[in-house]
Structure 1
Protein backbone atom coordinates (compact mmCIF):
# COMPACT_ATOMS: atom_id res chain seq x y z
CA UNK A 1 0.00 0.00 0.00
CA UNK A 2 2.57 2.58 1.12
CA UNK A 3 4.94 1.29 -1.55
CA UNK A 4 2.31 1.92 -4.25
CA UNK A 5 1.64 5.41 -2.94
CA UNK A 6 5.36 6.26 -2.85
CA UNK A 7 5.78 4.82 -6.35
CA UNK A 8 2.91 7.02 -7.56
CA UNK A 9 4.57 10.09 -6.08
CA UNK A 10 7.88 9.18 -7.72
CA UNK A 11 6.26 8.67 -11.13
CA UNK A 12 4.50 12.03 -10.77
CA UNK A 13 7.91 13.61 -10.15
CA UNK A 14 9.27 11.87 -13.26
CA UNK A 15 6.36 13.29 -15.29
CA UNK A 16 7.07 16.74 -13.84
CA UNK A 17 10.75 16.39 -14.80
CA UNK A 18 9.68 15.50 -18.34
CA UNK A 19 7.49 18.61 -18.63
CA UNK A 20 10.42 20.69 -17.40
CA UNK A 21 12.64 19.35 -20.18
CA UNK A 22 14.58 16.40 -18.78
CA UNK A 23 16.29 14.55 -21.64
CA UNK A 24 14.59 11.31 -22.78
CA UNK A 25 17.66 9.19 -21.97
CA UNK A 26 17.55 10.43 -18.36
CA UNK A 27 13.81 9.78 -18.17
CA UNK A 28 14.36 6.20 -19.32
CA UNK A 29 17.05 5.75 -16.69
CA UNK A 30 14.73 7.05 -13.95
CA UNK A 31 11.93 4.76 -15.11
CA UNK A 32 14.30 1.79 -14.74
CA UNK A 33 15.93 2.81 -11.44
CA UNK A 34 12.97 4.05 -9.41
CA UNK A 35 10.90 0.83 -9.46
CA UNK A 36 13.99 -1.11 -8.33
CA UNK A 37 14.71 1.25 -5.45
CA UNK A 38 11.25 2.47 -4.43
CA UNK A 39 11.85 1.10 -0.91
CA UNK A 40 14.52 3.77 -0.35
CA UNK A 41 11.95 6.58 -0.48
CA UNK A 42 9.49 7.64 2.20
CA UNK A 43 6.35 9.69 2.02
CA UNK A 44 6.60 10.76 5.64
CA UNK A 45 8.26 9.93 8.93
CA UNK A 46 7.12 6.54 10.03
CA UNK A 47 7.72 3.10 11.38
CA UNK A 48 10.74 2.05 9.36
CA UNK A 49 14.29 1.26 10.32
CA UNK A 50 16.68 4.17 10.46
CA UNK A 51 19.78 4.10 8.30
CA UNK A 52 22.87 3.60 10.44
CA UNK A 53 25.51 6.18 9.51
CA UNK A 54 28.72 7.33 11.12
CA UNK A 55 28.39 10.55 13.15
CA UNK A 56 29.35 13.69 11.30
CA UNK A 57 32.67 15.14 12.41
CA UNK A 58 32.60 18.92 12.30
CA UNK A 59 35.91 20.75 12.34
CA UNK A 60 35.75 24.01 14.27
CA UNK A 61 37.93 26.91 13.11
CA UNK A 62 40.59 27.99 15.63
CA UNK A 63 39.43 30.53 18.24
CA UNK A 64 35.76 30.08 17.32
CA UNK A 65 33.15 30.86 19.95
CA UNK A 66 30.03 28.64 20.10
CA UNK A 67 26.96 30.21 18.55
CA UNK A 68 23.68 29.85 20.39
CA UNK A 69 20.91 31.71 18.57
CA UNK A 70 17.82 32.65 20.50
CA UNK A 71 14.28 31.86 19.42
CA UNK A 72 12.67 34.14 16.88
CA UNK A 73 9.12 35.37 16.86
CA UNK A 74 6.81 32.88 15.19
CA UNK A 75 3.15 32.94 14.27
CA UNK A 76 0.90 30.60 16.26
CA UNK A 77 0.54 28.34 13.19
CA UNK A 78 4.33 28.07 12.89
CA UNK A 79 4.72 27.33 16.61
CA UNK A 80 2.16 24.52 16.34
CA UNK A 81 3.90 23.13 13.24
CA UNK A 82 7.28 23.16 15.03
CA UNK A 83 5.83 21.33 18.04
CA UNK A 84 4.29 18.64 15.84
CA UNK A 85 7.34 18.27 13.60
CA UNK A 86 9.86 18.05 16.45
CA UNK A 87 7.59 15.59 18.29
CA UNK A 88 7.51 13.39 15.16
CA UNK A 89 11.31 13.60 14.81
CA UNK A 90 11.76 12.64 18.48
CA UNK A 91 9.23 9.81 18.23
CA UNK A 92 11.23 8.36 15.33
CA UNK A 93 14.60 8.79 17.12
CA UNK A 94 15.85 11.28 14.55
CA UNK A 95 16.59 13.98 17.14
CA UNK A 96 16.94 14.07 20.89
CA UNK A 97 16.72 16.75 23.55
CA UNK A 98 20.13 18.11 24.56
CA UNK A 99 19.88 20.76 27.27
CA UNK A 100 23.68 21.00 27.63
CA UNK A 101 24.43 21.98 24.03
CA UNK A 102 26.56 25.08 23.56
CA UNK A 103 25.51 25.41 19.91
CA UNK A 104 22.00 26.21 18.67
CA UNK A 105 20.49 27.44 15.41
CA UNK A 106 17.19 29.22 15.02
CA UNK A 107 14.53 27.20 13.21
CA UNK A 108 12.92 28.72 10.14
CA UNK A 109 9.47 27.70 8.98
CA UNK A 110 9.04 28.15 5.23
CA UNK A 111 6.10 27.38 2.96
CA UNK A 112 6.24 24.52 0.48
CA UNK A 113 4.85 24.85 -3.03
CA UNK A 114 1.64 23.12 -1.97
CA UNK A 115 -0.84 25.54 -0.42
CA UNK A 116 -0.72 25.44 3.37
CA UNK A 117 2.19 22.99 3.55
CA UNK A 118 5.21 23.97 5.66
CA UNK A 119 8.72 22.69 6.24
CA UNK A 120 11.27 23.40 8.94
CA UNK A 121 14.85 24.39 8.22
CA UNK A 122 17.53 26.05 10.30
CA UNK A 123 19.52 29.20 9.69
CA UNK A 124 23.00 27.71 9.81
CA UNK A 125 24.93 30.77 8.57
CA UNK A 126 26.26 31.80 12.02
CA UNK A 127 27.53 28.26 12.67
CA UNK A 128 28.93 27.85 9.17
CA UNK A 129 31.12 30.88 9.81
CA UNK A 130 32.75 29.00 12.73
CA UNK A 131 33.35 25.67 10.99
CA UNK A 132 35.68 24.42 8.31
CA UNK A 133 33.84 23.61 5.08
CA UNK A 134 33.16 19.96 4.39
CA UNK A 135 35.04 18.48 1.45
CA UNK A 136 33.13 18.58 -1.81
CA UNK A 137 33.13 14.99 -3.06
CA UNK A 138 32.23 16.00 -6.61
CA UNK A 139 35.37 18.12 -6.81
CA UNK A 140 37.48 15.39 -5.24
CA UNK A 141 36.16 12.73 -7.61
CA UNK A 142 37.09 14.71 -10.75
CA UNK A 143 40.76 13.88 -10.24
CA UNK A 144 39.89 10.15 -10.15
CA UNK A 145 38.16 10.01 -13.54
CA UNK A 146 39.79 7.31 -15.65
CA UNK A 147 42.05 6.15 -12.83
CA UNK A 148 42.01 2.44 -12.03
CA UNK A 149 44.47 2.33 -9.14
CA UNK A 150 44.97 5.09 -6.60
CA UNK A 151 45.92 5.67 -2.97
CA UNK A 152 46.90 8.45 -0.62
CA UNK A 153 50.09 8.39 1.41
CA UNK A 154 50.47 10.97 4.16
CA UNK A 155 54.08 10.93 5.37
CA UNK A 156 53.84 13.99 7.58
CA UNK A 157 51.84 12.50 10.44
CA UNK A 158 51.38 9.24 12.26
CA UNK A 159 55.00 8.07 12.34
CA UNK A 160 54.77 7.40 16.06
CA UNK A 161 51.66 5.30 15.49
CA UNK A 162 53.37 3.15 12.87
CA UNK A 163 56.62 2.69 14.77
CA UNK A 164 55.45 -0.38 16.68
CA UNK A 165 52.87 -1.48 14.14
CA UNK A 166 52.91 -4.94 12.59
CA UNK A 167 53.12 -3.15 9.25
CA UNK A 168 56.37 -1.40 10.17
CA UNK A 169 59.48 -3.13 8.84
CA UNK A 170 62.66 -2.66 10.87
CA UNK A 171 65.91 -3.75 9.19
CA UNK A 172 68.08 -6.01 11.27
CA UNK A 173 70.90 -4.00 12.84
CA UNK A 174 74.45 -4.84 11.88
CA UNK A 175 76.01 -6.11 15.11
CA UNK A 176 79.55 -6.95 14.13
CA UNK A 177 80.22 -3.75 12.25
CA UNK A 178 81.28 -5.54 9.06
CA UNK A 179 80.04 -4.41 5.69
Structure 2
Protein backbone atom coordinates (compact mmCIF):
# COMPACT_ATOMS: atom_id res chain seq x y z
CA UNK A 1 0.00 0.00 0.00
CA UNK A 2 1.15 3.53 -0.73
CA UNK A 3 2.80 5.09 2.30
CA UNK A 4 1.51 8.52 1.35
CA UNK A 5 -1.94 7.30 0.30
CA UNK A 6 -2.69 5.29 3.43
CA UNK A 7 -2.02 8.17 5.83
CA UNK A 8 -5.30 9.67 7.08
CA UNK A 9 -5.93 13.40 6.77
CA UNK A 10 -7.13 15.16 9.91
CA UNK A 11 -9.78 17.79 9.33
CA UNK A 12 -9.43 20.88 11.56
CA UNK A 13 -12.48 22.56 13.04
CA UNK A 14 -14.10 25.10 10.77
CA UNK A 15 -13.47 23.04 7.63
CA UNK A 16 -16.47 21.54 5.82
CA UNK A 17 -15.92 18.66 3.39
CA UNK A 18 -18.47 17.44 0.87
CA UNK A 19 -18.03 14.41 -1.41
CA UNK A 20 -20.30 14.12 -4.45
CA UNK A 21 -19.31 11.09 -6.52
CA UNK A 22 -15.73 11.71 -7.66
CA UNK A 23 -15.82 15.44 -6.79
CA UNK A 24 -14.60 16.62 -3.39
CA UNK A 25 -15.28 20.14 -2.13
CA UNK A 26 -13.40 21.61 0.83
CA UNK A 27 -14.68 24.84 2.39
CA UNK A 28 -12.77 26.65 5.11
CA UNK A 29 -12.11 30.07 6.59
CA UNK A 30 -9.97 31.23 3.63
CA UNK A 31 -12.20 29.97 0.81
CA UNK A 32 -13.45 26.95 -1.09
CA UNK A 33 -11.66 24.47 -3.36
CA UNK A 34 -13.05 21.71 -5.58
CA UNK A 35 -11.16 18.76 -7.07
CA UNK A 36 -12.23 15.88 -9.31
CA UNK A 37 -10.57 12.63 -8.24
CA UNK A 38 -9.64 9.84 -10.68
CA UNK A 39 -12.27 7.12 -11.25
CA UNK A 40 -10.90 4.19 -9.18
CA UNK A 41 -10.16 6.33 -6.10
CA UNK A 42 -12.78 6.75 -3.36
CA UNK A 43 -12.88 9.03 -0.33
CA UNK A 44 -14.48 8.32 3.06
CA UNK A 45 -14.98 10.74 5.95
CA UNK A 46 -15.20 9.46 9.56
CA UNK A 47 -14.75 11.38 12.82
CA UNK A 48 -12.94 14.42 11.36
CA UNK A 49 -10.52 12.27 9.34
CA UNK A 50 -10.46 11.69 5.62
CA UNK A 51 -9.19 8.41 4.18
CA UNK A 52 -8.45 7.93 0.52
CA UNK A 53 -8.99 4.34 -0.71
CA UNK A 54 -8.18 2.36 -3.83
CA UNK A 55 -9.91 -0.81 -5.05
CA UNK A 56 -6.84 -3.00 -5.69
CA UNK A 57 -3.05 -2.99 -5.99
CA UNK A 58 -2.92 -2.38 -9.74
CA UNK A 59 0.04 -0.20 -10.70
CA UNK A 60 -2.09 2.70 -11.97
CA UNK A 61 -4.28 2.65 -8.87
CA UNK A 62 -1.23 2.70 -6.59
CA UNK A 63 0.13 5.81 -8.29
CA UNK A 64 -3.25 7.58 -8.25
CA UNK A 65 -3.74 6.71 -4.57
CA UNK A 66 -0.83 8.80 -3.28
CA UNK A 67 -1.56 11.60 -5.74
CA UNK A 68 -5.20 11.86 -4.70
CA UNK A 69 -4.34 11.88 -1.00
CA UNK A 70 -1.80 14.67 -1.55
CA UNK A 71 -4.29 16.73 -3.57
CA UNK A 72 -6.94 16.44 -0.84
CA UNK A 73 -4.41 17.28 1.88
CA UNK A 74 -3.23 20.34 -0.09
CA UNK A 75 -6.85 21.49 -0.31
CA UNK A 76 -7.37 21.16 3.47
CA UNK A 77 -4.13 23.04 4.23
CA UNK A 78 -4.95 25.68 1.61
CA UNK A 79 -8.37 26.61 3.00
CA UNK A 80 -7.04 26.76 6.58
CA UNK A 81 -3.55 28.28 6.29
CA UNK A 82 -3.06 29.17 2.62
CA UNK A 83 0.17 29.03 0.64
CA UNK A 84 2.84 31.70 0.19
CA UNK A 85 5.74 31.66 -2.28
CA UNK A 86 8.38 34.33 -1.63
CA UNK A 87 10.59 35.45 -4.50
CA UNK A 88 13.64 37.69 -4.99
CA UNK A 89 15.00 39.69 -7.91
CA UNK A 90 18.74 40.09 -8.44
CA UNK A 91 20.34 42.44 -10.95
CA UNK A 92 21.16 46.10 -11.45
CA UNK A 93 17.99 48.01 -12.34
CA UNK A 94 15.72 44.99 -11.85
CA UNK A 95 12.74 45.79 -9.64
CA UNK A 96 9.08 45.12 -9.00
CA UNK A 97 6.31 47.63 -8.31
CA UNK A 98 2.74 47.00 -7.17
CA UNK A 99 0.13 48.53 -9.50
CA UNK A 100 -3.16 48.02 -7.67
CA UNK A 101 -3.62 44.24 -7.37
CA UNK A 102 -1.11 43.56 -10.17
CA UNK A 103 2.67 43.62 -10.45
CA UNK A 104 4.91 45.46 -12.89
CA UNK A 105 8.49 44.30 -13.42
CA UNK A 106 11.49 46.20 -14.77
CA UNK A 107 13.79 43.39 -15.93
CA UNK A 108 16.19 45.02 -18.36
CA UNK A 109 13.83 44.88 -21.32
CA UNK A 110 12.89 48.01 -23.28
CA UNK A 111 9.45 47.91 -21.68
CA UNK A 112 7.95 47.12 -18.27
CA UNK A 113 6.42 43.65 -17.89
CA UNK A 114 2.96 43.66 -16.25
CA UNK A 115 1.56 40.57 -14.49
CA UNK A 116 -2.15 40.51 -13.69
CA UNK A 117 -3.33 38.81 -10.50
CA UNK A 118 -5.73 35.96 -11.32
CA UNK A 119 -8.72 35.22 -9.08
CA UNK A 120 -7.63 33.76 -5.76
CA UNK A 121 -4.05 35.09 -5.96
CA UNK A 122 -2.71 38.13 -4.10
CA UNK A 123 0.66 39.76 -4.57
CA UNK A 124 2.60 41.57 -1.84
CA UNK A 125 5.68 43.69 -2.58
CA UNK A 126 8.20 43.79 0.28
CA UNK A 127 10.72 46.19 -1.22
CA UNK A 128 12.05 46.88 -4.70
CA UNK A 129 13.47 43.38 -5.12
CA UNK A 130 11.29 41.13 -2.94
CA UNK A 131 7.69 40.06 -3.39
CA UNK A 132 5.40 37.21 -2.43
CA UNK A 133 2.56 35.31 -4.06
CA UNK A 134 -0.20 33.95 -1.83
CA UNK A 135 -3.41 32.00 -2.33
CA UNK A 136 -5.34 28.94 -1.21
CA UNK A 137 -4.58 26.72 -4.24
CA UNK A 138 -1.05 25.30 -4.02
CA UNK A 139 -0.94 24.41 -7.71
CA UNK A 140 -2.02 27.88 -8.81
CA UNK A 141 0.46 29.65 -6.50
CA UNK A 142 3.30 27.46 -7.79
CA UNK A 143 2.32 27.94 -11.44
CA UNK A 144 2.15 31.74 -11.14
CA UNK A 145 5.55 31.73 -9.39
CA UNK A 146 7.04 29.58 -12.17
CA UNK A 147 5.57 31.86 -14.86
CA UNK A 148 7.06 34.94 -13.17
CA UNK A 149 10.43 33.21 -12.73
CA UNK A 150 10.41 32.39 -16.44
CA UNK A 151 10.30 36.12 -17.30
CA UNK A 152 14.00 36.40 -16.44
CA UNK A 153 15.69 33.13 -15.54
CA UNK A 154 18.73 33.38 -13.31
CA UNK A 155 22.04 33.79 -15.10
CA UNK A 156 24.69 31.25 -14.01
CA UNK A 157 27.55 33.70 -14.67
CA UNK A 158 26.36 36.90 -12.98
CA UNK A 159 23.50 35.54 -10.86
CA UNK A 160 20.97 38.03 -12.26
CA UNK A 161 17.31 37.11 -12.58
CA UNK A 162 14.24 36.10 -10.60
CA UNK A 163 14.44 33.23 -8.12
CA UNK A 164 12.63 31.72 -5.18
CA UNK A 165 13.70 33.00 -1.77
CA UNK A 166 16.54 30.86 -0.46
CA UNK A 167 17.15 29.16 -3.83
CA UNK A 168 20.82 28.39 -4.41
CA UNK A 169 22.00 29.27 -7.91
CA UNK A 170 24.93 27.30 -9.23
CA UNK A 171 27.44 29.87 -10.44
CA UNK A 172 29.84 29.22 -13.29
CA UNK A 173 33.28 30.69 -13.81
CA UNK A 174 33.63 32.86 -16.89
CA UNK A 175 36.26 32.18 -19.49
CA UNK A 176 39.74 33.41 -18.71
CA UNK A 177 41.64 35.77 -20.97
CA UNK A 178 44.97 34.92 -22.56
TM-score of the two chains, using structure 2 as the length reference: 0.31
Q: Which has the higher helix share?
A: 1
**Highest Rg: 1 or 2?**
1
Q: Which has the higher strand share?
A: 2
TM-score of the two chains, using structure 1 as the length reference: 0.31
